[in-house]
Structure 1
């Protein structure tokens, strides 16, 4: 982490404080990962209802991301960061006070606002504070909040639920959000860069999304998001159905350990050798994860799948954010992140309710086989469509060519 010693003291302080706030946010969300599907089932939810409730999280993401992206560009990143933390603190109380499926869907959609706001503001702030020459490295280090938070959260959440029940679990999730909010008040965010008035129109937003430089990253993120939606919703239930003696929280912990490890290395390497080869590798690892889960019948295979899932997403997501940052200007960055990462949200939104219906017919095991096909399709899209021509795309995706859509100023 030598790069941090080269930063100005104020910038370094803001990044460290932002990192701490990020840990609290992700631990709050992740504490519910292995337990919320079980809670929905325990209050009477069917397989398809579990998928609908869990997938409603992404409805909140999709509804609010475009507006929050514009707000981040217009009013500043810190305002949006605080909105995300407030939602993260309130939503667990909503789960606590209702067992009605329609109300749980509404609470879950509101909970989606938290990640829509927080991830948009967090990613944009990190890029704003990062020197362009070391952007991938700083993003890689700062993205560690996700695997570390996801390592801590499920382990604590799973244990607390088994030991004391759901009420202390939801109160813990709320408390972590409140502490994160207090910490975020001390962050000194850069002043928003002035932007053309025309850039705020809805037509421009969607034209921006469908531009060649952003279309392929968005579609790739959507396909990967569908697989992620299956994994985050149905792994705890699949482990129980398979009769494997494994705390589902340990699956997410294994994923977090692997994700942490790869992020220490790949961000810096992508600054030197290009983003393409690493994004391709991350997607391939994610596809293999789904195949392993499709065939998993033992604790060892589930844990191996967790490790590969963490490595795949730990390579893919931070470097896709770096790729999008390379292809965007400072005045549009909030909107670009909200729209492109919205592709990942859309995938999750589709996966929960739609693929949850398939679970009734083909079972959880079949869902993971289907998900492996979706990720392999995302590999094909990225490898063949990531640059201006097929040959340039292939060269970029396998690390032999530059990114022709990267902006030379990229600042």
Structure 2
């Protein structure tokens, strides 16, 4: 008598990440942040052309983040109520209008006002895009999905700063601002077909400025973003001081490093845990800042950009995934807005604080001092991470 042998069940295929709406969101982000990254190394130079000092240049960079920070908690709440698509489109429109408006900046005060307005677009677009991607991502592949989504920003960072400097040389500031505006328009057009799901129960969510479960990952992200306020403001000036012809090359090295590690880091965090990725990421950020501070030319400056980029590429997707892991779908937008607020606050304070200290410590000293912040984040994670589930 033959005994029937039961075949083992076929392995469940992995859930699909690249749906139509996920792909459109990533493409829209690439162009929208491309618009932003064209201006990343050039806005400090524009501020100097308008008569800004080194400290005032830090204010010009930092006030953009302040404009974003003002509205960010409200944007997270609106995302939870099903308004992500509208926020995505309004934010993209503000990017386009702001880029063109820089043409009319007649002085430092006007530039500061325009940067604040531009920052309100940053409060809307990434908050909405983060919420949409978190909704679309398969839970078991969340870190991997966040890594792929982050590539849209990273690729724009790889191309944008160096291209922005090239456009500045070829077309001057009017041509640069026009190209930046048109790039944002493409991002707006790609966002139009994106479909978002609406939960009829969401309107009952009470308003909260932050989600407590997101505070620890937000604090860790802050320690990195504080450094980017200094890097984004002063690397262009420092590179020129070191005789580097195109300061955008630092940001290209940074972005290519993020591009190389981000998806792998997201997948690793899904399998090995978020802390297994965040801890070495913070260590690399510290090393990258030290290399930048010690640089004497293009080679060491690029080495700093590579280490700095590898660190961020590991930290960011893991922190986003960890935040989504710990919060309910009903408050996911607010939780991600809490994380993004730390991003903006860190950049703003980093630019302003280091702008106030640069006269005493010099450009090189700002990078040494900035390295203390991710070092503090690393220590906090090692000491308190388990209490928060990391």
TM bracket, shorter-chain basis: over 0.9
Deviations 1:166-192 (A, max 9, x none): 100000010011111111111011214
Tell me by how many angstroms 1:386 deviates. 2.1
Alignment correspondent of 1:16: 23
Superposition TM-score, scaled by structure 2 size: 0.93
Deviations 1:373-411 (A, max 9, x none): 1110111122222232xxxx7xxxxxxxxx37xxxxxxx
Superposition TM-score, scaled by structure 1 size: 0.88
Whole-Å Cα distance in 2 between the matches of residues 104 and 5 of structure 1?
A: 49
Q: Unpaired segments of 5 or more residues in structure 2? A: 1-11
Pair 1:221 & 2:211 matched: no
Alignment correspondent of 1:397: none
Alignment correspondent of 2:152: 145
SS at match of 1:186: coil
Do the aligned partners of residues 36 and 273 (structure 1) sit closer, same or farther apart at CA in structure 2, a change above 3 Å counting?
same
Over the aligned positions, Cα root-mean-square deviation in angstroms equals: 1.8
Q: Unpaired segments of 5 or more residues in structure 1? A: 394-402, 405-411
The answer to whether the 8 A contact 1:24-1:180 is kept is yes
The answer to whether the 8 A contact 1:193-1:330 is kept is no
Alignment correspondent of 1:381: 380
Deviations 1:26-61 (A, max 9, x none): 110000111111111111110111011110011111
SS at match of 2:336: helix
Alignment correspondent of 1:56: 63
Per mean C-alpha deviation after superposition, the further-off stretch among 184-193 and 341-350 is: 184-193
Alignment correspondent of 1:409: none
The answer to whether the 8 A contact 1:76-1:192 is kept is no
Q: Which structure has the larger Rg?
A: 2
The answer to whether the 8 A contact 2:81-2:205 is kept is no
Q: Where do residues 33-182 of structure 1 align in structure 2 (5 Å cutoff)?
A: 33-182=40-189
SS at match of 1:34: coil
Alignment correspondent of 2:307: 308
Whole-Å Cα distance in 2 between the matches of residues 97 and 116 of structure 1?
A: 23
The answer to whether the 8 A contact 2:265-2:314 is kept is yes
Do the aligned partners of residues 4 and 369 (structure 1) sit closer, same or farther apart at CA in structure 2, a change above 3 Å counting?
farther
Tell me by how many angstroms 1:4 deviates. 11
Whole-Å Cα distance in 2 between the matches of residues 307 and 192 of structure 1?
A: 42
Which residue among 8, 16, 21 is the counterpart of 1:7? 16
Whole-Å Cα distance in 2 between the matches of residues 55 and 118 of structure 1?
A: 18
Aligned residues: 379
Do the aligned partners of residues 156 and 193 (structure 1) sit closer, same or farther apart at CA in structure 2, a change above 3 Å counting?
farther
Alignment correspondent of 2:264: 265
Tell me by how many angstroms 1:354 deviates. 2.1
Deviations 1:53-99 (A, max 9, x none): 11001111110101111111113311111122011111112211113
Do the aligned partners of residues 18 and 66 (structure 1) sit closer, same or farther apart at CA in structure 2, a change above 3 Å counting?
same
The answer to whether the 8 A contact 1:227-1:372 is kept is yes
Alignment correspondent of 1:205: 209
